[in-house]
Amino acid sequence: MKINAEDIIRGDQLTGARLIRLLEEGDPAGIGVIKQLYSHTGQAFIMGITGPPGSGKSTLVNCIISEVRRRQLKIAVVAIDPSSPISGGALLGDRIRMRRHTEDDGVFIRSMATRGHLGGLTKTTRETVLVFDAMGYDIILIETVGVGQDEVEIAQFAHSTAVVSLPGMGDDIQAMKAGLLEIGDIFVVNKADIDGADEVVEQLRAMLDMASRTPGQWLAPVLKTVASKERGIVELVDAFWQHRTFLMDSGHFAEHSYNWEFQFFRHLVMEMAADRIFSDIEDSPARQQLLEDLKNRRIDPFSAAEHLIREFAPG
């Protein structure tokens, strides 16, 4: 069944879901549609929300959806689901979340399993964001678990990222903040009705104060929320919007978008080059021999790769 780009542009969710599925499967037809859509993208505000398992991100996302809808904005969510790194899935979570917003045309939620080969998740997430963008969602919210390089990379897709922590987590989480400090535009201490919330807020503020900051730079706020009781959500959405205004006024918005696209482009080039190089190994006795030598440690992988690249593009 052919996918009509027009149906995507007018925001049809069924067609959108079908296109995303095609893209996840790596179907070239999906890419064909993206090409047609591309000039319609670049409009959405991409928000990120990242935090460790157990920090209540999903509840927070649900609250953000409701608040954003109250403001008459359309929102699409990409949830990078760590629950199933290999087998895919995450359907249960999908269903639970969807139930609340399922009859609302202004909301589209998609859980992505972290399946697939190297860079697969990053690639599919980028493509999904493009589809949502073309569909006309004002906001695209990317939810990630906030540890691991891929997650950090995906968090960097966002124009504006909120880092969620919570009171009383172990040393591992406390230490994690040092790195997350650099990707956070907004800091959220969720479950702030638990003992120790103020201490975490203080710690975060102290760490942010220590970080070097040039004049005119964004000052990341530290907010308290209780997502389960829908507390602090208005302030959180306000903070996202203030950061958006800051980015727009400072010219960082356009710059960020271009960096994002260039990285996407570079990644595509890498993948296409590798596909091209490896697709004809079967037909070439010399390359078969190279693999055989590699297998028997007669050649090291670096020399073998250099050899292949030289052959592919001499000069």
Looking at residues 110 to 139 of the shown chain, list those that interact with a second copy (rule: CB under 8 A).
113-114, 116, 118-122
Residue of 17, 21, 29, 54 interacting with a second copy (CB under 8 A)? 54
- Out of 183, 218, 230, 256, the residue judged to bind a second copy by CB under 8 A: 183
Nearest to 105 by CA among 65, 159, 78, 143: 65
- For the beta carbon of residue 266, count every other beta carbon within 10 angstroms: 10
Is the Cβ of residue 285 or residue 301 nearer to a second copy in the bound state?
A: 301
Q: Which of 103, 172, 195, 249 binds a second copy (CB under 8 A)?
A: 172
φ, ψ dihedrals at 226, nearest 5° = -130, 90
Judged by beta carbon, residue 73 or residue 294, the one nearer a second copy is: 294
| Residue from 47, 150, 160, 197 in contact with a second copy (CB under 8 A) | 150
- Position 29 contacts a second copy (CB under 8 A): no
Element (H, E) at 80: strand 75-81
- Could you tell me the sign of the dihedral formed by the alpha carbons of 143, 149, 152, 157, in that order? negative
Our finding on whether 86 is near a second copy (CB under 8 A) is yes
Residue from 234, 265, 284, 289 in contact with a second copy (CB under 8 A): 265
DSSP 3-state of 284: coil
Nearest residue (CB) to a second copy, 82 versus 106: 82
CB of 3 vs a second copy, minimal distance in Å: 15
Q: Does 42 bind a second copy (CB under 8 A)?
A: yes
State yes or no: residue 178 binds a second copy (CB under 8 A): yes
Check binding of 71 to a second copy (CB under 8 A).
Answer: no
With beta carbons less than 8 A apart as the criterion, state whether 129 and 78 touch: yes
Burial class (CB in 10 A: 0-12, 13-18, 19+), 13: middle
Q: Residue 193: what residue type?
A: D
- The answer to whether residue 38 forms part of the interface with a second copy (CB under 8 A) is yes
Sketch the per residue contact string, 189 through 228, with a second copy: x for CB under 8 A, - otherwise.
----------------------------------------
Residue closest to 256 by CA, chosen among 84, 48, 24: 48
Indicate the residue among 208 and 308 with the shorter CB distance to a second copy: 308
Half-sphere exposure for 293 (CA within 13 Å, toward CB): 15
Instruction: Report H helices in 161-251.
Output: 171-180, 197-210, 233-250
Min dist CB 279 to a second copy, Å, is 11
- Residue of 1, 2, 87, 282 that binds a second copy (CB under 8 A): 87
30 or 221, CB closer to a second copy?
Answer: 30
**Furthest-apart CA atoms within the chain: distance in Å:** 67
Cα separations in angstroms, 28 against 20, 122, 276, 306: 12, 17, 15, 29
Pick from 151, 159, 227, 240: which binds a second copy (CB under 8 A)?
151
Nearest to 179 by CA among 165, 166, 191: 165
| 289 lines the binding site for a second copy (CB under 8 A) | no
Which part of the chain contacts a second copy (CB under 8 A), choosing from 5-13, 16-24, 62-70, 256-264?
256-264
